């Protein structure tokens, strides 16, 4: 989050549109912000206390027409684009981000990090599809809601991010030399 603070020049009082987020990710940002968290019904943990002013809006990050006319200083999205659906839904998500014509920060995990961010499995995206399906079938019996999240997660490659956000800068977050995630920064 410190890279976010520096890159977006975050100051107290700024307004943020967080697409698909949770309040706890903002805990480490000391500047008091006015944050609108848009998320699907029942997803955002709205009862969680925060030092920020947080407004919760129920909606779909691929269609933010209900927020047209509202003013934000920047848009933030952490590990959401890989959950919105197929390539056409990811493109719709990217268009919604860009339509505000304000700075944005869109992060997604890297396929090349040894531990998959959503399920904790080593090298998950390199397993044969049949093996992934078999593992998921076992999880489904014990953790159906969590398994649905895993099943509906797609990897978003850096090349796709370049196509979706052609004028943006792409940062690579590294941990122990491995690319952990990609961050698209639009100004």
Beta-carbon contacts of 24 under 8 Å, excluding residues fewer than 6 positions away, are: 45, 48
Burial (CB count within 10 angstroms: exposed 0-12, middle 13-18, buried 19+), residue 159: exposed
> DSSP 3-state helix, strand, coil percentages of the chain (rounded to 5)?
35, 25, 40
How many Å apart are CA 39 and CA 45, to the nearest integer?
A: 10
CB-CB contact of 54 with 113 (8 Å): no
pLDDT of residue 47: 85
Secondary structure of residue 81 in the 3-state scheme: helix
pLDDT of residue 10: 96
Q: What is the mean pLDDT of each run of 10 residues along the chain (187 residues)?
A: 94 97 95 96 84 95 90 97 96 96 97 96 96 95 91 95 98 97 97
pLDDT of residue 41: 87
CATH H superfamily, domain 2-111+154-186:
Vaccinia Virus protein VP39 (3.40.50.150)
Q: Where are the domains of the chain?
A: 2-111+154-186, 119-152
Please give the backbone phi and psi of residue 150, each rounded to the nearest 5 degrees, phi first: -65, -45
Tokens 């056409």 map to which residue?
A: 88
pLDDT of residue 45: 82
pLDDT of residue 126: 97
């Amino acid at each position: 989050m410190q890279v976010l603070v520096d890159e977006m020049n975050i100051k107290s009082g700024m307004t943020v549109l967080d697409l698909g987020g949770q309040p706890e990710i903002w805990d480490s940002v000391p500047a008091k912000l006015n944050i609108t968290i848009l998320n699907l019904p029942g997803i955002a943990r709205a009862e969680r206390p925060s030092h920020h002013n947080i407004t919760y809006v129920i909606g779909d990050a691929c269609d933010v027409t209900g927020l047209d006319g509202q003013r934000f200083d920047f848009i933030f999205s952490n590990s959401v684009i890989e959950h919105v659906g197929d390539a056409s839904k990811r493109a719709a998500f990217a268009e919604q981000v860009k339509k505000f014509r304000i700075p944005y920060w869109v992060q997604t995990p890297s396929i090349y990090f040894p531990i998959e961010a959503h399920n904790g499995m080593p090298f998950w995206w390199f397993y044969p599809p049949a093996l992934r399906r078999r593992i998921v079938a076992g999880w489904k019996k014990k953790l159906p809601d969590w398994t649905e999240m895993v099943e509906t997660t797609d990897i978003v490659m850096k090349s796709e991010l370049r196509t979706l956000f052609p004028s943006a800068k792409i940062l690579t977050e590294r941990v122990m030399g491995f690319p952990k995630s990609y961050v698209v920064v639009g100004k």
